[in-house]
Amino acid sequence: RGITLESVRDFLTREEDTIVFSLIERAKYPYNSPLYNPSSCLKVDKWFGNSCSLVELFVRDSERVQAKIGSYQNPEEVPFFPEDLTWPVVPPYNFSKVLYPAAASVNVSDTIWSVYFKELLPQFTVEGVDGNFASTAASDLACLQALSRRIHYGRFVAEVKFRDSPQDYIPAIRAKDRDALMKLVTSESQEEIVKKRVEEKAAVFGQDVTLDRPADTGDSNSSRAAYKVDPSVVYRLYGDWVIPLTKIVEIEYLLRRLD
């Protein structure tokens, strides 16, 4: 089959563009705290009577619409609120079956949700309210979906690594040895490459583009302030959250790989 460690890493590299751009777009708006008040609205139909935040309402209803057009048929996509989805009205498409069925359902959506709102969002937005609530919620959705796709792609990474050397993985899986699996899936040199590259992407994508080219003053700090999202923040978000969560997905997938 055409899936290799190189091809899955290429996917993750391309997905970095989507993630960095989505953070830059979200950073256009201030934090906009009214979106995150947990008791702003009532959940519809079966959840009637329970309260939820405006952003949760936005994501639930958006996923429902997207599912109609076929989201989540592709095994690369994992919803945040699977219980709300409706049947697709698009013609079926035969997505290639790469994942091991018993392990494909590994899912850290709840963790991604809370990490995004508690740990990530406050680090790359400024405080304040500007009233652009729907645009801000749409930007949150874009960030959440890009992060979810990247992190859940750990299932594909794990599948490739397993197929490349089952003899290394099978004893650790049988022993349910998470530490051994963590050592097997980890490549520190690759992680450093990824973190440096996303930092660079944040610098390249997030600078102001102008047509006047003043003489280079040699003062590299003069452009620093112009970045829309601080590149060092993106480096840390990847190192502290995105990569560790991807590896948790890899390990949880592998633990089910022989079921």
Ligand X SMILES: C=C(O[C@@H]1C=C(C(=O)O)C=C[C@H]1O)C(=O)O
76 binds ligand X (CB under 6 A): no
Distance CA 26, CA 220 (A): 26
Q: Spell out, one character per residue from 18 to 57, where the chain touches ligand X: x when CB under 6 A holds, - when not.
A: ----------------------------------------
3-state helix, strand, coil in the chain (%, to 5): 60, 0, 35
How many residues of this chain interact with ligand X, rule: CB under 6 A? 12
Kindly state the tokens that stand for 164: 């490349």
Residue burial 118-131, b: 16+ Cβ < 10 Å; e: rest: eebbeebbeeeeee
- Please report how close the Cβ of residue 242 comes to ligand X at its closest, in angstroms: 7
178 binds ligand X (CB under 6 A): no
Stretch that binds ligand X, among 73-81, 179-187, 199-207, 251-259 (CB under 6 A): 179-187
Kindly state the tokens that stand for 215: 């003489």
Q: Which is nearer to ligand X, 55 or 147 (CB)?
A: 147
The binder of ligand X chosen from 50, 187, 222, 232 (CB under 6 A): 187
- Please report how close the Cβ of residue 9 comes to ligand X at its closest, in angstroms: 5
Distance CA 56, CA 113 (A): 10
- Please report how close the Cβ of residue 196 comes to ligand X at its closest, in angstroms: 12
- Please report how close the Cβ of residue 255 comes to ligand X at its closest, in angstroms: 16
- Please report how close the Cβ of residue 252 comes to ligand X at its closest, in angstroms: 13
Closest to 21 in 3D by CA, of 237, 193, 208, 204: 204
Stretch that binds ligand X, among 33-41, 109-117, 217-225, 239-247 (CB under 6 A): 239-247
251 binds ligand X (CB under 6 A): no
Contact 15, 149 (CB under 8 A): yes
254 binds ligand X (CB under 6 A): no
DSSP, res 83: G
7 binds ligand X (CB under 6 A): no
The binder of ligand X chosen from 115, 143, 243, 249 (CB under 6 A): 243
**Max CA distance (Å), the chain:** 63
Is residue 170 exposed (0-12), middle (13-18) or buried (19+ Cβ within 10 Å)?
A: middle
Distance CA 144, CA 12 (A): 15
The binder of ligand X chosen from 54, 246, 255, 257 (CB under 6 A): 246
Distance CA 178, CA 252 (A): 9
Distance CA 26, CA 226 (A): 16
- Please report how close the Cβ of residue 81 comes to ligand X at its closest, in angstroms: 25
What residues between 124 and 163 interact with ligand X by CB under 6 A?
A: 157
Kindly state the tokens that stand for 10: 């290429």
186 binds ligand X (CB under 6 A): yes
Q: Residue numbers of the site for ligand X (CB under 6 A)?
A: 9, 12, 157, 185-187, 190-191, 194, 243, 246-247
